[in-house]
Amino acid sequence: MTQTVTPELRQWIIEQSTAGCMPEAVLEAMVNAGWQPDVAEAALEQTLRDHLKQLGASRVAAPAPGVAREMAVARAPEIPLGGSPRRLDAGDRMVDVIVSISMPRVVVLGGLLSDEECDALIEASRPRLARSLTVQTVTGGEELNPDRTSSGMFFGRGENDLVKRIEARIARLVNWPVENGEGIQVLNYKTGAEYKPHYDYFDPDEPGTPTILKRGGQRVGTVVMYLNEPARGGGTTFPDIGLEVAPVRGNAVFFSYNRPHPGTMTLHGGAPVIEGEKWVATKWMRERVFE
Ligand code: PD2
Ligand code: ZN
């Protein structure tokens, strides 16, 4: 069977790559769409080479700074799932693998926390809750964010034995040093509250981002842990792939992003709580030690 590389396919390849899709992901999409792998690989390589030539990029020694920054790929936390294990050893506890997606990298974990740990986190955070702030990338400071109608607080890293134990468990599961983690954040959403879709990495185009990145670099991974179960609503949504993770007490969703770019497909949000309330604890991981 002969497959012809049409101008439309070339255009599509260029659009995907310009939008930040990694070549492996473009290739995978082509093969899934019925392209023979060798034809797809050759078409991808040729199209990108021609495109670069057209841009005059082949004569430029280094990419423009903006391009380098967006396309640079960092190491990111990863849960090794080779051999498709059903359960993972998190050190002091076995954790179930419920769902695993490769692009974007999303893993839903069962039983990351015990019921007692969930209750203890809620009770320890309750007296310290304040309406949630998000890091303000324009200034590098913090501000009230209307897209986030929850209340929240941060534990200091290693603040108490419970926090230390959970941090060690996560570090082991996702192969990322405890020292690179931010303190655990607890959020409480009342009925009607939500967290509109967003990326957890800091937008490289915002003027406050360089200040934020001085402390530990970019965020490269997130673990959202569910501490209770709202009767309806409150799932964590990934609109790019139509996924909604149900908030089940003790379960968690892990996702990672190796560059601060929408091409990671890690847009996600907290759906409105329809009935009851919702409690989550979030652990964000940075590229480097977060002091
Ligand atoms: O509470 C959630 O489901 C949620 C959704 C999106 C939490 C976060 N993001 C977060 O803490 O970053
Ligand atoms: Zn988030």
Residues 250 and 208 in one domain: yes
User: Is residue 160 included in any domain, yes or no?
Assistant: yes
Mean pLDDT of 111-136: 88
Predicted confidence at residue 48, as pLDDT, reads 52
Among 67-71, 152-156, 211-215, name the one with the lowest average pLDDT.
67-71
What are 137's two structure tokens? 């990338």
Q: Which residues contact 266 (CB under 8 A, 6 or more apart)?
A: 104, 199, 200, 201, 238, 240, 255, 256, 257
112's enclosing H/E stretch is none
pLDDT band at 143 (very low <50, low <70, confident <90, very high): low
Q: Which ligand 1 atom sits nearest the alpha carbon of residue 200?
A: 12
pLDDT band at 180 (very low <50, low <70, confident <90, very high): very high
Q: Ligand 2: distance of its center to the CA of 228 in Å?
A: 18
Residues 101 and 211 in one domain: yes
Q: How far apart are CA 133 and CA 150, in angstroms?
A: 9
User: Is residue 2 included in any domain, yes or no?
Assistant: no
Which of 134, 135, 187 gets mutated to test ligand 1 (max ligand atoms within 8 A of its CB)? 187
Residues 52 and 94 in one domain: no
Residues 125 and 33 in one domain: no
The residues facing 232 across adjacent strands are 275
Residues 28 and 162 in one domain: no
Predicted confidence at residue 133, as pLDDT, reads 56
Residues 51 and 175 in one domain: no
- E-assigned strand segments in 127-231: 130-131, 133-135, 142-144, 151-154, 185-189, 195-198, 219-226
Predicted confidence at residue 71, as pLDDT, reads 60
For the cut 60, the answer to whether the pLDDT of residue 221 exceeds it is: yes
For the cut 80, the answer to whether the pLDDT of residue 24 exceeds it is: no
Residues 45 and 137 in one domain: no
Residues 65 and 98 in one domain: no
Residues 123 and 259 in one domain: yes
Burial (CB count within 10 angstroms: exposed 0-12, middle 13-18, buried 19+), residue 59: exposed
User: Is residue 13 included in any domain, yes or no?
Assistant: yes
What are 268's two structure tokens? 């996600």
SS3 content of the chain, % helix, strand, coil (to 5): 30, 25, 45
Atom 6 (ligand 1) nearest CA: 269
Which of 282, 284, 286 gets mutated to test ligand 1 (max ligand atoms within 8 A of its CB)? 282
Mean pLDDT of 193-205: 97
Residues 66 and 92 in one domain: no
**39: Cα separation from own chain's centroid:** 32
For residue 166, the enclosing domain spans: 87-286
pLDDT band at 205 (very low <50, low <70, confident <90, very high): very high
Predicted confidence at residue 72, as pLDDT, reads 79
Predicted confidence at residue 1, as pLDDT, reads 43
For the cut 60, the answer to whether the pLDDT of residue 29 exceeds it is: no
Atom 2 (ligand 1) nearest CA: 270
3-state secondary structure of 73: coil
12's enclosing H/E stretch is helix 7-18
For the cut 60, the answer to whether the pLDDT of residue 39 exceeds it is: no
pLDDT tens column, 68-115: 555 679 999 999 999 999 999 999 999 999 999 999 999 999 999 999
pLDDT tens column, 224-259: 999 999 999 999 999 999 999 999 999 999 999 999
For the cut 70, the answer to whether the pLDDT of residue 5 exceeds it is: no
User: Is residue 220 included in any domain, yes or no?
Assistant: yes
Q: How far apart are CA 282 and CA 132, in angstroms?
A: 13
Q: Which of 71, 104, 119 is the last residue of a domain?
A: 71
**181: closest CA among 167, 169, 166, 162?**
167
- For residue 215, give the amino acid letter: R
> CB of 194 closer than 6 A to ligand 1?
no
- β-sheet with 130-131: strand ranges across: 87-89, 94-101, 105-110, 252-256, 219-226, 278-286, 185-189, 151-154, 130-131
Atom 10 (ligand 1) nearest CA: 282
Residues 202 and 252 in one domain: yes
Among 21-35, 55-69, 101-115, name the one with the lowest average pLDDT.
55-69
User: Is residue 80 included in any domain, yes or no?
Assistant: no
User: Is residue 219 included in any domain, yes or no?
Assistant: yes
Predicted confidence at residue 159, as pLDDT, reads 98
pLDDT band at 201 (very low <50, low <70, confident <90, very high): very high
Predicted confidence at residue 23, as pLDDT, reads 59
Q: Is the dihedral of CA 197, 199, 205, 206 positive or negative?
A: positive
Q: How far apart are CA 107 and CA 77, in angstroms?
A: 12
Q: Which of 71, 99, 114 is the last residue of a domain?
A: 71
Instruction: Calculate ∠ Cα 21-24-26, nearest 5°.
Output: 55
User: Is residue 82 included in any domain, yes or no?
Assistant: no
Q: What is the mean pLDDT of the chain?
A: 84
User: Is residue 34 included in any domain, yes or no?
Assistant: yes
Q: How far apart are CA 286 and CA 222, in angstroms?
A: 9
Predicted confidence at residue 193, as pLDDT, reads 95
Q: How far apart are CA 207 and CA 137, in angstroms?
A: 7
pLDDT band at 287 (very low <50, low <70, confident <90, very high): very high
Predicted confidence at residue 64, as pLDDT, reads 46
Q: Ligand 2: distance of its center to the CA of 252 in Å?
A: 13
Q: How far apart are CA 104 and CA 266, in angstroms?
A: 6
Q: Which ligand 1 atom sits nearest the alpha carbon of residue 278?
A: 1
pLDDT band at 16 (very low <50, low <70, confident <90, very high): low
Residues 32 and 120 in one domain: no
For the cut 80, the answer to whether the pLDDT of residue 44 exceeds it is: no
> CB of 269 closer than 6 A to ligand 1?
yes
| Structural domain count of the chain | 2
Q: Which of 16, 43, 71 is the last residue of a domain?
A: 71
CATH number of the domain within which 195 lies: 2.60.120.620
